[in-house]
């Protein structure tokens, strides 16, 4: 029998909530998974993509990864992986570097034997290029075979989040009979039997967004007479999801009361307010949660407040709305605003954003070469931006191509499609002290959200994630 530890979506280097502790959490989770692999003495660790959150991980994250992989190497447990959409680079991959160092093996169509099973890899491929795939693999040298892949695969991935990749198609088209398909990209763990093949997502190992409420973990996949998948939980950072439904006569006191019901020690406190009631200043609630021990606190006020109440305070209660407002002020063309919506929406899966934007931009430009022209200044609410027509176009195309400049300009200076995080930071700076500090961090430590963040990365789940942090 051969046992493989199947993990994915580690997102090393993600400084979630602008918190350096969160960044460490992601590495700690990776370490824990590999330590479990050692103590369980599995035959191999399989990583189904998105080791890194970012195409350009910082040196600290790289060193952390190398050191964690060494632990595994010292125990003679091989690390096999494919490349996910978050870390996909044009030419060489980080994974290639680890391979050169003897710490990892990149899986591909040639097949790699571990015990009784041959493992194959299929890196993330954007929807527009999937037609060309032939799913030809070298014949396996073992009775059992498994494919490791990254993407939104039906039937497990929800189709409402953009185009899915039909795993049944892959299984049927492939010249190899797979006993299991081990997946990454979808952050919720799941499994299904498709024909004779077990298909499973390992899920992320730390919560990358507020929508990831379930416990995190990984899979232990046994290849014997058949395939057996076991789920193993991971100890991760405590998240307190404080959902408050306010009645008409209630306000901040009720929110505090609900916050008090939770043990917030070193936790990430996510307070979601819905219903009726008085306006609430998020910063006040966040400070209260931090006083009660929370490491990070965020308030998301989902109430639709009366427009007459829409003063500054109320608008800042909804970071989404603040971002939208700022975008309106940029004097962008409607085409650029369309791109911005695609990037920002939760409705489109992380790995689909790039393709969706590319298709939209191509379509818009073929219909009207001036589609991305700025709205003349007098038509815009505020003409502060200096980005010219050409820049705006280049930015939009850059996003689609994954080659956008790594500028960290704020939303004021740039097309928002490349700039979700700054825009988010901007919006929240008005209400969150923590974010103001974080913004200062960014200018001081260019290696993080600022200089190093590839603009394209913001055209992916990061946007959604950073927004989800408030959702
Ligand atoms: Mn991921």
Residue with more model confidence, 362 or 413? 362
Q: What are phi and psi of 241, to 5 degrees?
A: -95, 100
| Range in 30-34, 172-176, 366-370 the model is least confident about | 366-370
Average pLDDT over residues 81-89: 90
Q: What is the pLDDT of residue 451?
A: 33
Instruction: Tell me, yes or no, whether 88 lies in a domain.
Output: yes
Domain boundary among 316, 339, 370: 316
Confidence of residue 76 (pLDDT cuts 50, 70, 90): very high
277 and 250 Cβ atoms separated by less than 8 Å: yes
Instruction: Tell me, yes or no, whether 324 lies in a domain.
Output: no
Task: Give me ligand 1 centre to Cα 462, in Å.
Answer: 10
Task: Give me ligand 1 centre to Cα 406, in Å.
Answer: 21
Residue with more model confidence, 87 or 420? 87
Q: 387 in helix, strand or coil?
A: coil
Task: Give me ligand 1 centre to Cα 260, in Å.
Answer: 33
Residue with more model confidence, 61 or 357? 61
Which structural domain, as residue segments, surrounds residue 264?
Answer: 239-316
104 and 95 Cβ atoms separated by less than 8 Å: yes
Task: Give me ligand 1 centre to Cα 461, in Å.
Answer: 8
CA–CA separation, 219 and 214 (whole Å): 15
Pull the structure tokens for residue 103.
Answer: 């710490």
Q: Which residues contact 139 (CB under 8 A, 6 or more apart)?
A: 111, 175, 176
Domain identity same for 94 and 158: yes
Q: Which residues contact 99 (CB under 8 A, 6 or more apart)?
A: 105, 106
Domain identity same for 36 and 50: yes
Domain identity same for 93 and 167: yes
Question: Domain with 210 in it: what CATH number?
Answer: 3.60.21.10
Domain identity same for 214 and 121: yes
Domain identity same for 263 and 357: no
Task: Give me ligand 1 centre to Cα 230, in Å.
Answer: 21
Task: Give me ligand 1 centre to Cα 162, in Å.
Answer: 15
Domain identity same for 294 and 347: no
Task: Give me ligand 1 centre to Cα 357, in Å.
Answer: 19
273 and 302 Cβ atoms separated by less than 8 Å: yes
Domain identity same for 56 and 164: yes
pLDDT (tens digit per residue) in 213-223: 999 999 999 99
Task: Give me ligand 1 centre to Cα 348, in Å.
Answer: 14
CA–CA separation, 243 and 239 (whole Å): 12
Total number of domains in the chain: 3
Residue with more model confidence, 311 or 263? 263
Domain identity same for 350 and 405: yes
Q: Are strands 2-7 and 217-223 parallel, antiparallel or unpaired?
A: antiparallel
Query: What count of residues does the chain have?
Result: 471
147 and 164 Cβ atoms separated by less than 8 Å: no
Instruction: Tell me, yes or no, whether 68 lies in a domain.
Output: yes
Q: Model's pTM, two decimal places?
A: 0.72
Q: What are phi and psi of 202, to 5 degrees?
A: -80, -25
Instruction: Tell me, yes or no, whether 323 lies in a domain.
Output: no
47 annotated active-site:
no
Domain boundary among 233, 268, 286: 233
Confidence of residue 343 (pLDDT cuts 50, 70, 90): confident
Q: Which of 86, 150, 187, 432 is catalytic?
A: 86
CA–CA separation, 74 and 437 (whole Å): 41
Task: Give me ligand 1 centre to Cα 184, in Å.
Answer: 7
Pull the structure tokens for residue 249.
Answer: 């006569």
Q: What is the pLDDT of residue 378?
A: 56
Long-range Cβ contact pairs of 291-294 (< 8 A, separation 24 or more)? 292/259, 292/260, 292/264, 293/263, 293/264, 293/265, 293/266, 293/267, 294/240, 294/264, 294/266, 294/267, 294/268, 294/269
Instruction: Tell me, yes or no, whether 321 lies in a domain.
Output: no
Domain identity same for 351 and 253: no
Domain identity same for 181 and 257: no
Strands (E) in 171-247, as ranges, are 180-184, 190-194, 197-201, 217-223, 227-233, 239-246
Q: 220 in helix, strand or coil?
A: strand
Sort 52 into a burial class: Cβ within 10 Å, 0-12 / 13-18 / 19+.
Answer: buried
Strands (E) in 163-290, as ranges, are 165-166, 180-184, 190-194, 197-201, 217-223, 227-233, 239-246, 268-275
Q: Residue 102 pLDDT more than 90?
A: yes
Task: Give me ligand 1 centre to Cα 71, in Å.
Answer: 24
CA–CA separation, 139 and 407 (whole Å): 46
Domain identity same for 120 and 201: yes
Q: Are strands 79-81 and 105-106 parallel, antiparallel or unpaired?
A: parallel
Task: Give me ligand 1 centre to Cα 373, in Å.
Answer: 34
Domain boundary among 173, 207, 233: 233
Instruction: Tell me, yes or no, whether 322 lies in a domain.
Output: no
CA–CA separation, 423 and 282 (whole Å): 18
Task: Give me ligand 1 centre to Cα 469, in Å.
Answer: 16
Pull the structure tokens for residue 78.
Answer: 């091989």
CB burial of 345-376 (b: ≥16 within 10 Å; e: otherwise) equals eeebbbbbbbbbbbebbeebbeeeeebbbbbe
Share of the chain above pLDDT 90, in %: 61
pLDDT (tens digit per residue) in 411-468: 333 333 333 333 333 333 333 333 333 333 333 333 333 333 333 333 344 444 433 3
Task: Please choose, from the candidates 464, 354, 337, 315, the residue with its C-alpha nearest in 3D space to the C-alpha of residue 411.
Answer: 337
Task: Give me ligand 1 centre to Cα 190, in Å.
Answer: 14
Q: Which residues contact 178 (CB under 8 A, 6 or more apart)?
A: 120, 145, 146, 147, 171, 197
CA–CA separation, 229 and 39 (whole Å): 18
Confidence of residue 470 (pLDDT cuts 50, 70, 90): very low
Instruction: Tell me, yes or no, whether 453 lies in a domain.
Output: yes
Average pLDDT over residues 121-129: 94
Pull the structure tokens for residue 269.
Answer: 């406190």
Q: What is the pLDDT of residue 379?
A: 52
Task: Give me ligand 1 centre to Cα 15, in Å.
Answer: 14
Q: What is the DSSP string of 41-67?
A: T-SEEEE-S-SBSSSS--HHHHHHHHH
CA–CA separation, 387 and 393 (whole Å): 10
Residue with more model confidence, 137 or 388? 137
Residue with more model confidence, 342 or 460? 342
Domain identity same for 79 and 224: yes
Instruction: Tell me, yes or no, whether 222 lies in a domain.
Output: yes
Name residue, tokens 């990070």: 296
């Amino acid at each position: 029998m051969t046992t493989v530890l199947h993990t994915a979506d580690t997102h090393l280097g993600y400084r979630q909530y602008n918190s350096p502790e969160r960044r460490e959490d992601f590495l700690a989770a990776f370490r824990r998974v590999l330590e479990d692999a050692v103590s369980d003495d599995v035959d191999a660790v399989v990583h189904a993509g998105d080791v890194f959150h970012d195409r350009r991980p910082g040196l600290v994250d790289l060193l952390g990864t190398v050191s964690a992989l060494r632990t595994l190497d010292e125990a003679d447990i091989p690390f096999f992986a494919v490349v996910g959409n978050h870390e996909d680079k044009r030419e060489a991959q980080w994974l290639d570097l680890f391979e050169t160092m003897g710490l990892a093996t990149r899986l591909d169509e040639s097949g790699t034997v571990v015990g009784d099973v041959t493992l194959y890899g299929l890196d993330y491929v954007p929807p527009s290029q999937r037609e060309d795939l032939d799913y030809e693999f070298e014949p396996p040298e073992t009775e059992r075979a498994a494919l490791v892949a990254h993407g939104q695969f039906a039937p497990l991935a929800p189709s409402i989040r953009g185009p899915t990749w039909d795993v049944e198609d892959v299984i049927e088209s492939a010249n190899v009979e797979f006993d299991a398909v081990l997946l990454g990209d979808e952050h919720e763990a799941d499994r299904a039997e498709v024909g004779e093949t077990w298909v499973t997502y390992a899920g992320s190992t730390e919560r990358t967004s507020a929508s990831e409420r379930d416990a995190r973990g990984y899979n232990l996949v046994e290849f014997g007479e058949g395939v057996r998948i076991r789920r193993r939980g991971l100890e991760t950072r405590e998240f307190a999801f404080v959902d408050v439904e306010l009645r008409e006569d209630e306000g901040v006191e009720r929110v505090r009361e609900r916050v008090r019901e939770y043990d917030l020690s070193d936790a990430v406190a996510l307070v979601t307010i819905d219903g009726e009631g008085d306006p609430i200043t998020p910063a006040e609630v966040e400070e209260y949660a931090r006083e009660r021990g929370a490491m990070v606190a965020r308030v998301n006020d989902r109430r639709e407040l009366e427009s007459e109440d829409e003063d500054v305070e109320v608008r800042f209660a909804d970071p989404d709305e603040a971002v939208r407002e700022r975008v309106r002020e940029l004097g962008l063309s409607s085409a650029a605003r369309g791109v911005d919506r695609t990037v920002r929406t939760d409705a489109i899966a992380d790995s689909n954003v790039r393709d969706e934007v590319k298709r939209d931009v191509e379509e818009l430009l073929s219909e009207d070469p001036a589609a991305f022209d700025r709205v003349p200044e007098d038509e815009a609410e505020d003409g502060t931006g200096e980005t010219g027509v050409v820049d705006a176009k280049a930015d939009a195309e850059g996003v689609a191509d994954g080659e956008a400049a790594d500028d960290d300009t704020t939303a004021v200076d740039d097309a928002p499609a490349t700039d979700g995080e700054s825009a988010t930071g901007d919006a929240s700076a008005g209400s969150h002290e923590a974010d103001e500090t974080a913004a200062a961090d960014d200018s001081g430590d260019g290696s993080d959200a600022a200089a190093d963040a590839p603009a394209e990365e913001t055209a992916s789940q990061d946007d959604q994630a950073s927004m989800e942090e408030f959702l």
